[in-house]
Amino acid sequence: MTQIDLTGQPLPAALPLITDAIERAVAGESVDLTTGDETAVKYMVPTAAVRGVKAAFRREPAGGWRVELRPRAPRPTEKEETRGD
């Protein structure tokens, strides 16, 4: 589990930490965003995302944030790299 405490941090300042934690996470691991003793967001990395996920954050025109999480593509096997597939 990776835990990031957002207490006293504006979200824009925390985005690089959150993005890095999500991208480094492995399948089955949770990334928890907390505010003090409370868990605000608990994200469990899907088992299909064996290399973690790509995360993108952007502000919504009406306010708030949109977070897009996409599984990373699987790494090619050694056999595929050798053949050039």
What is the pTM assigned to this prediction?
A: 0.51
What is the pLDDT, as a whole number, of residue 49? 46
36, 7 contact by CB (below 8 A)? yes
pLDDT confidence of residue 12: 84
Q: What is the pLDDT of residues 40-83, one digit of tens each?
A: 888 877 665 445 667 778 888 887 777 787 776 666 666 656 66
Assess contact for 45 and 6: CB atoms under 8 A. Answer: no
The answer, yes or no, to whether residue 16 has pLDDT greater than 60, is yes
